[in-house]
């Protein structure tokens, strides 16, 4: 298996799978505000109680994750013992939403952190484990919670701070997928199968921005570099994809992304979509630049993108969750906010 003999390594940073893993099922647990948004009718569950019956925001987020894991297992017709590995992460320091959310499942776990790009990283690694023959069934999961994220990164809710128009609204929700060996499972009758054709692992991209209230601008350069790398590695045009779907750039980041790509003569203005823009109605819901958080791209993918693929509305999608690599400490110490984005090539077959 010398360098030139592995057909899986494509270009500088992409992977194309030999036997594209199947996304057997996806689940979406959304908060109340998300349930009131344009995608509200598509989520598996809308959890009306922001505390989810728990005593802290962190416990509430763990509970959302537990519900997402339970739901995706149910939809896939599997038990937790059928899953060989779980890959998950969240925005909270030391991933406590994940640790306390999925411990009871008793599945061997790989904890990951990619800020709001986590769903992309989780799906990429899950597909790698399956395609490489290291696992037959892997569960990829992530979550975020508006109040937990405000507490972690900004101000306590009680402080009632004003939010600039460039700020995004962290989505309360958890999404999970089960990615499996396609030789072992068949998709449901009458539906297209959804497979992961390949992935592009992103670099950390730092344009020197420091405004944590404008994360779209901080992350757009990373989305730009990962999308460019994918198109270049695969040697395809943007319209190879029915949609190029970023995670949570919002209105500000979207415009920057489109402009950056135009400078390289790449035009995605007709087939770009951003989960952060889709998930809220900014006029009606006062969400400013859009939705954000690991849960934003995760539940938009599992509730909406997968539906479009299953029903044949779209055939090929490049799913590009985007993350801002900051902490309260790095922000307070005056550091920049670098971005990262991982791309997952998803196809209906």
What is the footprint of its own copies within residues 130-149 (CB under 8 A)?
131-136
Is there binding between residue 106 and its own copies (CB under 8 A)?
yes
Is there binding between residue 22 and its own copies (CB under 8 A)?
no
Least distance in angstroms from the C-beta of 63 to its own copies: 13
Q: Mask of contacts with its own copies, 296-335, x by CB under 8 A?
A: -----------------------------xxxxxx--x-x
Task: Report whether 215 contacts 292 (CB < 8 A).
Answer: yes
Least distance in angstroms from the C-beta of 256 to its own copies: 19
Q: How many positions of this chain bind its own copies (CB under 8 A)?
A: 67
Query: Distance between CA 218 and CA 205 in Å, rounded?
Result: 9
Query: Distance between CA 141 and CA 27 in Å, rounded?
Result: 9
State both tokens at 208.
């020197």
Task: Report whether 204 contacts 221 (CB < 8 A).
Answer: no
Is there binding between residue 207 and its own copies (CB under 8 A)?
no
Query: Distance between CA 270 and CA 151 in Å, rounded?
Result: 37
Paired strand residues for 22? 180, 195
Which of 154, 100, 161 lies closest to 293, judged by CA?
154
Cα dihedral across residues 164, 327, 115, 229: positive or negative: positive
Is there binding between residue 223 and its own copies (CB under 8 A)?
no
Task: Give the residue, chosen from 74, 165, 204, 237, that forms a contact with its own copies under the rule CB under 8 A.
Answer: 204
**Cα(first)–Cα(last) distance of the chain, in Å?**
29
Task: Give the residue, chosen from 139, 171, 194, 201, that forms a contact with its own copies under the rule CB under 8 A.
Answer: 201
Binding site for its own copies (CB under 8 A): 1-3, 6, 8-9, 12-13, 15, 19, 55-56, 58-59, 84-85, 89, 91-96, 99-100, 102-103, 106-115, 121, 124-125, 128-129, 131-136, 152, 181, 183-184, 201-204, 206, 325-330, 333, 335, 338, 340
């Amino acid at each position: 298996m010398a360098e030139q003999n592995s057909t899986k390594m494509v270009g500088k940073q992409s992977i194309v799978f030999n036997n594209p893993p199947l996304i057997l099922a996806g689940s979406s647990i959304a908060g109340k505000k998300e349930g009131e948004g344009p995608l509200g009718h598509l989520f598996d569950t809308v959890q009306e109680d922001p505390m989810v019956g728990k005593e802290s925001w962190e416990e509430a987020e763990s509970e959302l994750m537990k519900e997402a894991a339970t739901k995706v297992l149910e939809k896939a017709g599997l038990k937790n013992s059928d899953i060989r590995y779980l890959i998950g992460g969240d925005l909270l320091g030391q991933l406590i939403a994940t640790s306390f959310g999925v411990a009871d499942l008793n599945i061997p776990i790989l904890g990951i952190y990619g800020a709001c790009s986590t769903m992309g990283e989780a799906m990429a690694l899950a597909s790698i484990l399956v395609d490489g023959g290291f696992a037959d069934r892997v569960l990829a999961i992530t979550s975020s919670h508006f109040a937990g994220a405000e507490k972690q990164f900004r101000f306590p809710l009680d402080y009632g701070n004003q939010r600039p128009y460039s700020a995004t609204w962290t989505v309360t929700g958890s999404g999970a997928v089960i990615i499996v060996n396609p030789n072992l499972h068949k998709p449901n009758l009458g539906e297209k199968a959804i497979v992961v054709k390949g992935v592009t692992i992103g670099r950390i991209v730092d344009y020197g921005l420091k405004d944590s209230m404008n994360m779209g601008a901080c992350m757009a350069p990373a989305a730009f570099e990962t999308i460019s790398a994918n198109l270049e590695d695969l040697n395809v045009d943007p319209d190879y994809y029915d949609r190029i779907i970023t995670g949570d750039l919002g209105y500000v980041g979207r415009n920057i992304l489109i402009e950056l790509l135009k400078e390289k003569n790449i035009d995605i203005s007709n087939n770009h979509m951003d989960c952060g823009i889709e998930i809220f109605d900014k006029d009606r819901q006062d969400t400013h630049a859009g939705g954000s958080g690991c849960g934003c791209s995760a539940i938009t993918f599992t509730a909406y993108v997968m539906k479009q693929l299953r029903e044949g509305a779209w055939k090929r999608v490049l799913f590009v969750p985007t993350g801002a690599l900051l902490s309260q400490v790095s922000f307070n110490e005056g550091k920049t906010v670098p971005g990262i984005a991982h791309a997952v090539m998803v196809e209906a077959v």
